[in-house]
Amino acid sequence: MNRKEVVELCNQYGLKARKSLGQNFLCNDAVAGRIVDSAGIRSQDIVLEIGPGIGALTEFILDTGANVFSSEIDEKLFPLLRDRFSDRLNFSLIESDFLILKRDEWLSPGQNIDIIISNLPYYVMTPLIIKCLEDYSDARKMVFMIEEDASNRIFAVPETKSYGPLSVLTSIYGSKSKLFVVDQRSFDPQPQTRSLVISFDKNEDLKRNISSRFVMFVRHCFAMRRKTIHKNLIASGLNFSNDLLSEAFLHSGIQESSRAEAMKPTDFLSLYDCLFEENDTMSLE
């Protein structure tokens, strides 16, 4: 849809983009189509869309034939989405804040998500991505449109200022790619900065998912960046003794004097496994 159509839809339903929800409606069909094409969606897939807004991406995802579940927080958008896609048998609207949505509240037992796709609200990028990794790391691909300026936190490497939990967790999930830049004119209202479409492809060789406990562990490791991981874990409240930590560092081959910003993503896995003695079953619930 173009800007004129976006304005007409908003006027029809009495809508206005809400700054409190970080809403900027995509109004460029070429961009929407390119985003969906980059996800490699198949007709038998189950797709989770986070924040469909007025449905700019939704329409293209539905055209793939996949079963689409769209989670929307803004109740003012529910009537528009229902009306636009009521004739699409492969569309389901989840009227919920994704950050508090539990997997078993909408997915059937044994059902898995294949693709996650979203134009992420910039102000909640980090918690939304981490929730996707925690709850849906069995998905084979994730495609997000984010604020270009925020991409450093995702693509940062060790020994750099931006390297942190988000860099580590996304690297453990799989490979990461910067696909293309989207300028401000593709949105209504126009944001202050350009957007960047990125993708994560699951590492199928890593036979594990990302548990909430592992996420917590990584965050504790980065809690005080100037301190060593050993000191951060002692202060974490996780009740690690000095002896247990020393043994874990020894067996993982990591120096006790190491800081989180100097460790490779796989180093966090090695240390975690030695501390929790779960190895390949770390993520099983």
For 132-157, write each residue's pLDDT tens digit.
999 999 999 999 999 999 999 999 99
- For CA atoms 73, 77, 79, 84, the dihedral sign is negative
Under a CB-based contact definition with an 8 Å cutoff, are residues 147 and 196 in contact?
A: yes
- For CA atoms 33, 38, 40, 46, the dihedral sign is negative
What are the start-end ranges of the H helices in 41-114?
56-62, 78-85
pLDDT in tens, 178-210: 999 999 999 999 998 999 999 999 998 877 789
What are the start-end ranges of the H helices in the chain?
3-13, 29-38, 56-62, 78-85, 125-135, 152-155, 165-173, 212-221, 229-234, 242-252, 265-276
Q: What is the CATH number of the domain that holds 31?
A: 3.40.50.150
Inside any domain, residue 207: no
Determine the length of the chain: 285
Together in a domain, 126 and 10: yes
- Structural domain range at position 35: 3-202
Together in a domain, 80 and 110: yes
156, 179, 202 - which closes a domain: 202
pLDDT in tens, 67-116: 999 999 999 999 999 999 999 999 999 999 999 999 999 998 889 999 99
Inside any domain, residue 181: yes
- The secondary structure of 159-190 as a DSSP string is TSTT-SHHHHHHHHHEEEEEEEEE-GGGEESP
Together in a domain, 221 and 138: no
Q: What is the CATH number of the domain that holds 218?
A: 1.10.8.100
Q: Distance between CA 150 and CA 128 in Å, rounded?
A: 14
Together in a domain, 40 and 127: yes
Together in a domain, 163 and 244: no
Together in a domain, 51 and 144: yes
Together in a domain, 217 and 106: no
**What's the mean pLDDT when you consider all of the chain?**
92
Q: Distance between CA 48 and CA 200 in Å, rounded?
A: 14
Together in a domain, 260 and 172: no
Specify the pLDDT at position 270.
94
Q: Which residues contact 72 (CB under 8 A, 6 or more apart)?
A: 51, 52, 53, 78, 81, 93, 94, 95, 96
Together in a domain, 156 and 28: yes
Together in a domain, 114 and 249: no
Specify the pLDDT at position 209.
81
Extract the tokens encoding 106.
């909408």
Structural domains in the chain (count): 2
Together in a domain, 196 and 75: yes
Global pTM value: 0.92
Specify the pLDDT at position 1.
81
- pLDDT of 65 over the 80 cut: yes
Together in a domain, 198 and 221: no
Inside any domain, residue 277: yes
Specify the pLDDT at position 150.
92
